[in-house]
Amino acid sequence: MAQKPSIPKGTRDFSPSEVAKRNYIVQKIQEQFQKFGFQPIETPSFENSDTLMGKYGEEGDRLIFKILNSGDFLRKADQKAYDAKDSLKITSSISEKALRYDLTVPFARYVVQHRNELEFPFKRYQIQPVWRADRPQKGRFREFFQCDADVVGSDSLWQEVEFVQLYDAVFSSLNLEGVSIKINNRKILSGFAEVIGESDKLIDFTVALDKLAKIGEDGVKKEMQEKGISAEAIGKIQKVFGLKGTFSEKISVLNDILETSEIGRKGIEELEFVNNAIKNLGLETAQLELDVTLARGLNYYTGAIFEISAPEEVQMSSIGGGGRYDDLTGIFGLSDVSGVGISFGLDRIYLVLEELELFPETITPNVKVLFINFGNKESLYCLKAVKQLRRAGIATELYPEEVKMKKQMNHANKRDIPFVVLAGGEEMEQQKFTLKNMKSGEQEMLSLTELQNRLKNE
């Protein structure tokens, strides 16, 4: 070994048991996606840069992985930017492709491109990796998987209701209890900004408000003031900082705060609609919670905003998010198509399930029976049986080498293979097989039909 090989920062290999667990999660999510009427699509792992750039805010642009142009890219580089060592400016002249940053923007691009083939409202799901040039932390990777479900072409609030139900259905089927579905509405946030007369500082305002739980009321106010929002203005929405109680209790305080804001009142109306519907329909294990400080991933959301918090005992930030975006396809030339969707963070859900020990034990697909190899004549005899067992749906293997039985048994043991078949000269004479149960140690001599039935019933 000349040099230890390695993989890039923030990426991971997945070994068999990890893949099994990841597949388990994906399968549960996929199952619900399909039950709710979503159809799968896939898009390329990289897009044209201009499809992605500028869609996630300034910070987002920085986190997009750019792909260097092929060939003699320096010859075509922006000479001025090059001389000035201006990395930001030179990028567009040396890179015209980039790895996708999420699944929503590529989907919007897809919808616009395929608009004539699609039947609206169009419901799609998509489970693929995305890439972000972020600095890794626990639960933060540079390559990770998102599982998205979106609907385009319907501005009905019943879609929001359906997505809350979908979240609940998925987490219930994963036996993950205590998940909190936090909901907010961009119109509420716009309402706040309007009431304090700072509509043009909406983003700064909401980014600061989002940190309430983390840095506290004083911290938020301080940050807002640093962004140029006056103390008097902030005072006008003082009640926001002490918002407590049930969904309806919070709504009634919001009614008070946002009385003068038309857009704010619209936001309240939408939240109430969703809440009333959910109250009527009920949720299995999750709970719906109004959180007016919720503002992440705000850039293209226009209505509902969702974020999923893991159960409180786990230290993990959001494991999912989503919202409504009224004009995402507008950027690509198709206006008046409203979209709404949600995303599941596969990698974080994995970490949560692992920590809470919620993965079923029998999750790793495994061979059920290993035939011991006694030599060529015996192997041929065994392989005939192996073939029949496989046809009967039983995962079966013959040990490939004629080595010491101890080694072969050990191999079965290490791989947790529950049964071993021994078939040597004696068995061949009687046209039988000795089946050994590796757990109990019991063994018996059976005909092929008996062997098959026995394994089938296990």
Select the residue interacting with RNA from 67, 243, 438, 448 (CB under 7 A): 438
Nearer to RNA (CB atom), residue 55 or residue 123: 55
340: exposed, middle or buried (Cβ count in 10 Å: 0-12, 13-18, 19+): buried
244: exposed, middle or buried (Cβ count in 10 Å: 0-12, 13-18, 19+): exposed
Residues near 352 by Cβ (< 8 Å), separated by ≥ 6? 176, 310, 311, 314, 316, 319, 358
Select the residue interacting with RNA from 22, 211, 265, 266 (CB under 7 A): 211
Select the residue interacting with RNA from 126, 329, 338, 343 (CB under 7 A): 343
The answer to whether residue 137 forms part of the interface with RNA (CB under 7 A) is: yes
Closest distance to RNA from the beta carbon of 241 (Å): 17
DSSP-assigned beta bridge partners for residue 127: 147
Give me the 42-61 binding string for RNA, x by CB under 7 A, dash otherwise.
--------------xx-xx-
Site for RNA in 262-301 (CB under 7 A): 296-299
Closest distance to RNA from the beta carbon of 207 (Å): 4
Q: Which residues of 341-368 are buried (b: 16+ CB within 10 A; e: fewer)?
A: bbbbbbbbbbbbbeebeebeeeebeeeb
CB 263, CB 194: distance < 8 Å = yes
Alpha helices, H only, 186-246: 186-195, 202-209, 212-226, 231-235, 238-241
CB 78, CB 89: distance < 8 Å = yes
| ω into 121 cis (within 30 of 0) | yes
Query: Distance between CA 326 and CA 129 in Å, rounded?
Result: 25
Structure tokens at 333: 């030339």
One-letter amino acid at 324 equals R
Nearer to RNA (CB atom), residue 283 or residue 349: 349
Give me the 302-341 binding string for RNA, x by CB under 7 A, dash otherwise.
-----xx--------xxxxx--------------------
Nearer to RNA (CB atom), residue 98 or residue 423: 423
Number of shown-chain residues binding RNA (CB under 7 A): 66
CB 195, CB 268: distance < 8 Å = no
Nearer to RNA (CB atom), residue 257 or residue 370: 370
Closest distance to RNA from the beta carbon of 434 (Å): 4
Nearer to RNA (CB atom), residue 137 or residue 457: 137
Nearer to RNA (CB atom), residue 237 or residue 446: 446
The answer to whether residue 191 forms part of the interface with RNA (CB under 7 A) is: no
DSSP-assigned beta bridge partners for residue 422: 434
CB 324, CB 337: distance < 8 Å = no
Closest distance to RNA from the beta carbon of 260 (Å): 28
Give me the 387-426 binding string for RNA, x by CB under 7 A, dash otherwise.
-----------------xxxx-xx-xxx-------xxxxx
66 in helix, strand or coil? strand
Nearer to RNA (CB atom), residue 72 or residue 88: 88
Structure tokens at 95: 């890179």
One-letter amino acid at 110 equals Y
Select the residue interacting with RNA from 33, 300, 374, 381 (CB under 7 A): 374
The answer to whether residue 10 forms part of the interface with RNA (CB under 7 A) is: yes
Q: Rule CB under 7 A: which residues touch RNA?
A: 1-4, 6, 8-10, 56-57, 59-60, 62-63, 102, 132, 134-141, 144, 146, 207, 211, 214, 296-299, 307-308, 317-321, 343, 345, 347-348, 374, 404-407, 409-410, 412-414, 422-427, 434, 436, 438-439, 441, 443
